[in-house]
Structure 1
């Protein structure tokens, strides 16, 4: 009887934690561009690969963070894009694919997708930012903890990047930034 009660309490506790955990509302790029027409928001794109360890850490440690998920869901349309996948992507009237994709290598290093090259992705993970009309802003490469990502999410969401014309101005922004996301 005690085992049943203990198991029941553990199940209830696990369900409660799952219900509290905030998740990012991921959509495709095409869906995000369509959503922008009704409600303009910037686009945040996670460019990853199936074999990338830091990409998996980003999913687990950063994207599962409540502050990160809440902020992205409120201010951005979030897109996940497999940089070595086989999906066709249409962006600004141009179609991108991965003609050298090898299905046998689906979970190993594969050919880079044309769209990841177009976005100037050179490492994984890379987060790519687009403005409210779907125009490319910039990629940000590497694994980022919640407070590190917060700096970029707020920089691009507020359009503060438009006022920065030098590395010194970004460095000043970086030094003066006060993160509020919990780690």
Structure 2
């Protein structure tokens, strides 16, 4: 009889014992967050949290292929208290998941969890070691687990060094980038500003044109101004940056600085005064430092962007045609047939009633058709322009041709569109509305 009682007791205790042990993939169940912190303190292990959602595909893939990898589960078992926390709420949630709703919301707010999966690495005291978002392969996750377990890489320690002023200024940019990735934007901006003024600006000009420069522009564009010495130096020595990264990069950055710091403020000033920008004045201001050609090209692009914003379609069409003609229609078609087709259909055909512009659009399409004689979308655009110009018979013939080609390729959506267009043409109704 005693043997039966012992067996029954063991069978009753087994589920409770298992719940406290490592679950699938090394994860464990806890009643609340405080219990996780207590366990980390008792076992002297760091904490790993997988924030997931039930609808998240990458989360499910990691469950199936990553957490089952012995390298991952081994690293988790040895060094971490691993926990999975569901961030969404569903009707199928069991009582255990429901009991974590409030904790999940609190942690989500604290660490700004808005992408899944998000992986949180904490010290045994609950201090932030690292955060990563998105799918991680088994090898990548092992590397992350190892890096986070190294005290020298701990984010909270680097943050302490920044706060007490002991961090080397040359290391501050990497910390700023990490801080921004962790969504502490104002703190990251302050770090980047300190890095630039306290370290970067003191380097020789040629030494500034390196990875740090592109990192500053990418992550903290406001730290570098058009009036900075490095911008003038880069303008005079474009090959330094171009040879390290890619041809034309210096020109792209220079154009960005000019637009942001010279052109856009003058446009904003005009908008605030409810008047059109003085394009001649803006061109003159840019030309003072960067020459007439650079000024003309930049101001042209800025004017076109401004016209788009104002929905001044007639002038947008005018400048877009001018842009193509400067480049050469043959070169434009060679660079992108789709772009030319979209320009003619979406702008010239749909937005303009000017016969001069419509004829230009027709000329563009004739060149495009030479290269794409069997493209039903190109033929459809050509037919619509013909129709709007008034060449109805030719337009119907071309639209029928587009329809036949679409039917042969079984492009059902296009087939229906072309049938509708044909009907409108035959009924003498506009096809551009």
Matched, 1:161 2:163: no
Structure 2 residue 66 is the aligned partner of structure 1 residue 62: yes
Indicate the residue corresponding to 2:78 in structure 1: 74
Q: 1:165 offset after TM fit, Å? A: 4.6
1:131 aligns with 2:136: no
Distance 1:25 1:46 in 2: 9
**Kept in 2: contact 1:44–1:127 (CA 8 A):** yes
More helix by share: 2
Matched with 1:147 is 139
- Measure how far apart 1:160 and its partner are: 3.0
CA distance in 2, matches of 1:58, 1:116: 20
How much has 1:167 moved relative to structure 2? 2.6
Instruction: Give the TM-score normalised by structure 2.
Output: 0.28
1:23 is matched with 25
Deviations 1:87-113 (A, max 9, x none): 455xxxxxx728xxxxxxxxxxxxx83
- 1:107-151 Cα offsets, whole Å, 9 max, x none, are xxxxx8342122121200010111111223332100000111122
CA distance in 2, matches of 1:51, 1:24: 22
Between Structure 1 and Structure 2, how many residues are aligned?
A: 131
> 3-state SS of the aligned residue for 1:127?
strand
Q: Which residue of 1 aligns with 2:102?
A: 97
Candidates 114, 117, 121, aligned match of 2:109: 117
Misfit runs of 4+, over 6 Å: 168-171
Contact 2:27 2:84 in 1 (8 A): no
When the two structures are superposed, what TM-score results if normalisation uses the length of structure 1? 0.61
1:45 aligned residue: 49
For the structure 1 residues 146 and 27, does the alpha-carbon distance in structure 2 shift closer, same or farther, using more than 3 Å as the test?
A: same
CA distance in 2, matches of 1:70, 1:53: 24
Q: Secondary structure at the match of 1:97?
A: helix
Q: The residue matched to 1:120 in structure 2 has which SS? A: coil
Task: Please tell me whether the aligned partners of residues 120 and 139 of structure 1 are also in contact (alpha carbons under 8 angstroms).
Answer: no
1:83 aligns with 2:90: no
CA contact (8 A) 1:84 1:113 kept: no
**Secondary structure of the corresponding residue to residue 83 of structure 2:** strand
Counterparts of 1:47 and 1:79 in 2: how far apart (Å)?
Answer: 9
1:113 alignment partner, SS class: helix
Cα contact 2:49–2:84 (8 A) shared by 1 = yes
Q: Residues of 1 paired with 2:130 and 2:25: CA distance?
A: 24
SS in 2 for 1:129: strand
CA distance 1:161–1:26, shift in 2 (3 Å): same
Q: Which has the higher strand share?
A: 1
Residue 82 of structure 2 aligns to a residue whose secondary structure is strand
Separation of aligned partners in 1, 2:50 and 2:125: 18
User: Structure 1 stretch 152-161 or stretch 47-56: which is displaced more?
Assistant: 152-161
The aligned residue for residue 264 of structure 2 is none
* Structure label with greater radius of gyration: 2
Q: CA RMSD in A?
A: 2.8
1:55 deviation in Å?
0.4
